[in-house]
């Protein structure tokens, strides 16, 4: 039986001054782990920011967890139920990891009688239990990133939005992170925006590929890999097949755009 959509986006348009970052995008996501791929400037971060309710669209409808983000009351309730890791996040450098994650737990209104345990569990899940009382300013870049993931999951969100979550993590930490993603995706809707195709191959079951603000491909990782065909190299891996599929999907999308009548392309360029 199909699960109800956690994310339902219809006609989503986002503009940055005269630039159209997202162009009438439609997207529906249910519980599971969804990879969000695309070239730099494709609109991935713009989409994540709208889903995190930190940016407002120019037009379109966005429903999260059954609520309409256009309603102030519903938007406030939605924020308590989601987790968000931006590409760059701020924190008080004098805070310890415990204090930083506890502060976010307070913002998310985690009940006081559960907050301390929730903080310790979140920090342990990202492998920072031995640094929980270290100050943020003493951590390495990879540790700061893991603390960022901990704050995103401290409220056990139903919708988890991660923008370039493995930036700064070493290979061993990325393997552990992927295992955590698979665990989280059994009950929550997890959206991972990344340019690392291997992360999608290892952890995600579904892929949305965005190019120039529109949806260029939507399907499973196996379907994306199938687009890459055979390389003829017996040492080639599934990851490389997905990389080839990613390139093939982008090129096919660009070919479809180029094949449209010139008048239609001109109108689209003015939107």
| Chain CA centroid to CA 106, Å | 23
User: How do residues 139-166 score in pLDDT, each as one tens digit?
Assistant: 998 999 999 999 999 999 999 999 989 8
Tell me the backbone φ, ψ of residue 155, rounded to 5 degrees. Answer: -95, 15
pLDDT tens-digit map of 154-207: 999 999 999 989 888 888 888 898 899 999 988 899 999 988 888 888 889 899
pLDDT for residue 3? 67
Structure tokens at 147: 């603390």
Task: Specify the higher pLDDT residue, 230 or 13.
Answer: 13
**According to the model, what pLDDT value does residue 239 have?**
61
User: Which residues does 228 contact at the CB level (< 8 Å), separation at least 6?
Assistant: 240, 241, 242, 243, 244, 245, 246, 247, 248
In the chain, domain spans = 34-44+71-261
Q: Which residues contact 78 (CB under 8 A, 6 or more apart)?
A: 53, 64, 65, 67, 69
Look at residue 14 in the predicted model and tell me its pLDDT: 94
**What pLDDT is attached to residue 91?**
84
Tokens of 195: 């340019």
Sign of torsion over alpha carbons 61, 1, 227, 243:
positive
**Residue 257: predicted pLDDT:** 82
DSSP state of 271: -
In CATH, the architecture of 34-44+71-261 is: 3-Layer(aba) Sandwich (3.40)
What value does the mean pLDDT of the chain take? 88
Q: Which residue has the higher pLDDT, 25 or 2?
A: 25
User: Residue 143 burial (CB < 10 Å; 0-12/13-18/19+)?
Assistant: buried
> How far is it, in rounded angstroms, from Cα 153 to Cα 155?
6
For β-strands 159-163 and 82-85, DSSP reports them as parallel
Summarize pLDDT for 47-58 with one digit per residue, the tens.
999 999 999 999
């Amino acid at each position: 039986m199909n699960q109800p959509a956690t994310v339902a986006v219809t006609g989503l348009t986002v503009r940055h001054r005269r630039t159209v970052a997202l162009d009438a995008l439609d997207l529906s996501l249910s519980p599971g782990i969804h990879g969000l791929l695309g070239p730099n400037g494709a609109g991935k971060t713009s989409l994540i920011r709208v889903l995190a309710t930190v940016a407002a669209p120019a037009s379109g409808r966005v429903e999260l967890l059954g609520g309409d983000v256009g309603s102030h009351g519903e938007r406030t309730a939605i924020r308590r139920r989601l987790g968000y890791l931006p590409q760059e996040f701020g924190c008080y450098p004098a805070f310890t990891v415990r204090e930083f994650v506890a502060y976010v737990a307070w913002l998310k209104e985690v009940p006081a009688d559960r907050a301390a345990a929730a903080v310790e569990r979140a920090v342990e899940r990202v492998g920072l239990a031995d640094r929980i009382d270290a100050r943020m300013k003493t951590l390495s870049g990879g540790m700061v990133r893991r603390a960022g993931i901990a704050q995103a999951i401290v409220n056990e969100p139903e919708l988890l939005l991660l923008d370039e979550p493995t930036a700064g993590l070493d290979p061993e930490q990325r393997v552990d992170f992927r295992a955590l993603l698979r665990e989280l995706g059994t009950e929550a809707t997890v959206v991972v925006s990344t340019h690392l195709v291997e992360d999608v191959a290892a952890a995600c079951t579904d892929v949305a590929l965005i190019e120039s603000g529109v949806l260029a491909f939507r399907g499973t990782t196996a379907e994306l890999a199938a687009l890459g065909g055979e390389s003829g190299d017996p040492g080639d891996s599934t990851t490389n097949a997905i990389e080839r599929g990613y390139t093939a999907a982008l090129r096919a999308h660009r070919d479809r755009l180029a094949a449209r009548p010139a008048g239609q392309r001109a109108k689209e360029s003015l939107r």
